Amino acid sequence: MSVNDPVLDDLRDMFAWFEGPATPRPRARRPRAPRRLILVGAIALVLAAASVASADGLGLFDGGTPVSPQVQAQIAASSQGAPPALDPGIEAGTAVTLITIPTEQGTASLVVSRATRASYCDGIAFSWLGDRQGLGCDGPVESGTVPPAIDFGQAVLGILGRSPRFVWGHVQPAQASTVRLDLTDGTQRDIPLTDGFYLTELGAHDQVDRVEALDPSGAVLAAQSESPVGIGIPTTTP
């Protein structure tokens, strides 16, 4: 059948009207109650670490700095009105900032929120807040102690416009004291842990080859060497 046809031409015209702008809208977890993005001027990375918060009693929420009301509302909105399959189970008003780092495009934060139950994304939800956001949910945070494990994810440029590039993740804090990034150019970078979490910005051409969790003596407790292209890499142990 020829694709030049009045009916198919109607279809093409309709496509042109309905295809909309070519960029995805920020990820919204309230499908029936559209949220409006609040331009907070800062980029926040949100982690809803359900298993960590509830299972190992790390006291994350005692040591963190409460986030702004706007960010709190954004996080809570993830659960408001969301159908069960999309609800990360955010406990509203509990988000705290654990780590803040400066970037070329403003401040980036790692924020952890209590979760009421295991979420559909296996316990960890994160999203950018600000004028570009919505990297979704991936990579469960491992809160167990045996065997030790480290996980990490990488936010990739270009999905939602120009964003800084980060590596972030979690390791069992009772055992590890530092995270070491091995870059493909042979250099290494040590990153401090905050309650087991870490967050660092990558240079434009940095490629992570391996992430290691080190104990205070420098011994490798756990490592992840799978290529971190994308976000949310499964955990492995050496």
Partner 1 sequence: VAEPSDLIQLARAARRGDPVAVDRFLETVQPLVVRAVRLVVGSGSAIAEEACQDALLDIVRGLPSLADPERVRAWTMRIAMRRAVRAARGQRLRDRLSGTADQIEGVGDPTAVPERALLVHEAFAALPVRMRAVAVLRLSVGLSEQETADALGCAPGTVKSRLHGARARLQRALDPADPATSSLMPARRPT
CB of 189 to partner 1, least distance (A): 16
Selected binder of partner 1 within 66, 121, 136, 181 (CB under 8 A)? 136
Q: Does 185 bind partner 1 (CB under 8 A)?
A: no
CB of 28 to partner 1, least distance (A): 5
Three-state SS annotation for 171-201: ECCCCCCEEEEEECCCCEEEEECECCEEEEE
Contact 119, 64 (CB under 8 A): no
In the bound state with partner 1, the residue whose beta carbon lies nearer, of 8 and 219, is 8
Q: Does 28 bind partner 1 (CB under 8 A)?
A: yes
How does strand 96-103 pair with strand 106-112? antiparallel
122 sits in the region (left: phi over 0; alpha: psi -120 to 50; else beta) called left
Give start and end residues of each alpha helix (H) in 56-158: 60-63, 69-77
178 bridge partner residues: 192, 214
Q: Does 39 bind partner 1 (CB under 8 A)?
A: no
Site string for partner 1, 55-84 (x = CB under 8 A): ----------------------------x-
Positions touching partner 1 (CB under 8 A) are 1, 3, 5, 7-8, 10-15, 17-28, 30-32, 34, 83, 86, 134-136, 138, 156-160, 165, 184, 204-207, 227, 229-231
